[in-house]
């Protein structure tokens, strides 16, 4: 029996794209086809001027329950190196558009690493997250060790990665791993609401916010503040800045066009 299409594209509105991982028979395990499909779709919609926000999601049972073990169980180091699946996640982190992960059910291993590539993570109350790679004789290799440590601190990250244990949405929120919790089954609905709120904002400002926040967290405070200052000054060359401030003074809703 042929496997169904592994990545579905949905358009709740012209300016929002939902990329849905669709491998229900294996809890949305991330095989090479899914990784390539996600990278290609994020590249395509990230370059589309009509799109202002991208959402990545899975099913109510699993965002993605990890990498596809069948693809790597008998691999040797050279094969793993040449496959270089990490490059597909780099495409996602480099996307100029804001990207939201809507997480329900399991987000484990590569699934959590994928979610950590997003700018915002909305998790359903029943979500279960974790990096259990150590339990199958490896370690997180898609950014998990580094991104988690930067979010929760070295000591807590060591505990979670060395034991491979799962943690729930409430703990993830308290640690700063997720941005917000939604009722179970409502993560995508809430993500679309947030995406619509972001899509109504000036696109150039949103792109600059994403760029300077991501660059600044790994720079010195002095350098990060310089990046912020330059980005702030650049906004005054945009039509949207003029529109936004005029609308404020005229007590009307602004219409931002990304110019």
Q: Is the pLDDT of residue 198 over 50?
A: yes
- The string of pLDDT tens digits covering residues 28-49 is 999 999 999 999 999 999 999 9
Which fold would CATH assign to domain 203-249? Answer: Lyase 2-enoyl-coa Hydratase; Chain  A, domain 2 (1.10.12)
Handedness of CA 201, 202, 208, 211 (dihedral sign): positive
Report pLDDT for 146: 94
Report pLDDT for 68: 76
Which fold would CATH assign to domain 7-199? Answer: 2-enoyl-CoA Hydratase; Chain A, domain 1 (3.90.226)
Report pLDDT for 115: 97
- Given pLDDT bands bounded at 50, 70 and 90, which one contains residue 222? very high
CB atoms within 10 A of CB 142: 25
Whether 104 is catalytic is no
- The string of pLDDT tens digits covering residues 69-98 is 777 777 788 888 877 888 899 999 999 999
Whether 123 is catalytic is no
Report pLDDT for 83: 78
Higher pLDDT, 86 or 101: 101
Whether 110 is catalytic is yes
Catalytic residue (one of 101, 133, 143, 169):
133
By the 10 Å C-beta count (0-12 exposed, 13-18 middle, 19+ buried), 149 is classed as middle
Region 92-109 average pLDDT: 96
Catalytic residue (one of 37, 109, 110, 130):
110
- The string of pLDDT tens digits covering residues 115-160 is 999 999 999 999 999 999 999 998 999 999 999 999 999 999 999 9
Domain with CATH 1.10.12.10 in the chain: 203-249
Q: Is the pLDDT of residue 176 over 70?
A: yes
Catalytic residue (one of 29, 113, 144, 157):
113
Report pLDDT for 1: 39
Q: Is the pLDDT of residue 2 over 70?
A: no
Region 4-23 average pLDDT: 94
Domain with CATH 3.90.226.10 in the chain: 7-199
Higher pLDDT, 112 or 1: 112
Q: Is the pLDDT of residue 66 over 90?
A: no
Taking CA atoms, 92 is separated from 99, 113, 116, in Å, by 8, 11, 10
Closest of 5, 113, 99, 120 to residue 67, by C-alpha:
113
- Given pLDDT bands bounded at 50, 70 and 90, which one contains residue 3? low
Closest of 65, 76, 1 to residue 30, by C-alpha:
65
| Mean pLDDT for all residues in the chain | 93
Say what the pTM is. 0.93
- Given pLDDT bands bounded at 50, 70 and 90, which one contains residue 111? very high
Whether 133 is catalytic is yes
Catalytic residue (one of 67, 115, 172, 182):
67
- CA-based Rg of the chain, rounded to a whole angstrom? 19
């Amino acid at each position: 029996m042929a496997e169904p299409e592994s990545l579905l594209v949905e358009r709740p509105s012209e300016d929002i794209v939902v990329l849905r991982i669709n491998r229900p028979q294996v809890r949305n395990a991330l095989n090479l086809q899914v990784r390539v499909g996600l990278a290609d779709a994020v590249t395509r919609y990230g370059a589309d001027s009509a799109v202002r926000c991208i959402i990545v999601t899975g099913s109510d049972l699993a965002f993605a329950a990890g990498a596809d073990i069948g693809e790597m169980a008998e691999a040797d180091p050279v094969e793993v190196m040449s496959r270089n699946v990490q490059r597909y996640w780099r495409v996602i982190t480099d996307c100029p558009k804001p990207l939201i992960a809507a997480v329900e059910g399991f987000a484990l291993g590569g699934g959590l690493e994928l979610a950590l590539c997003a700018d915002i993570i909305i998790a359903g109350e029943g979500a279960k997250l974790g990096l259990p790679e150590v339990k199958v004789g490896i370690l997180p290799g898609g950014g998990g060790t580094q991104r988690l440590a930067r979010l929760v601190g070295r000591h807590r990250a060591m505990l979670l990665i060395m034991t491979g244990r799962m943690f729930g949405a409430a703990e993830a929120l308290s640690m700063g791993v997720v941005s917000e919790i939604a009722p179970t089954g409502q993560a995508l609905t809430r993500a679309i609401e947030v995406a619509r709120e972001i899509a109504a904002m000036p696109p150039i400002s949103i792109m600059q916010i994403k760029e300077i926040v991501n660059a600044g967290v790994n720079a010195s405070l002095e350098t990060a503040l310089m990046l912020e200052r330059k980005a702030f000054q650049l906004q005054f060359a945009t039509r949207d800045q003029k529109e936004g401030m005029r609308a404020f003074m005229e007590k009307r809703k602004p219409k931002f066009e990304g110019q």
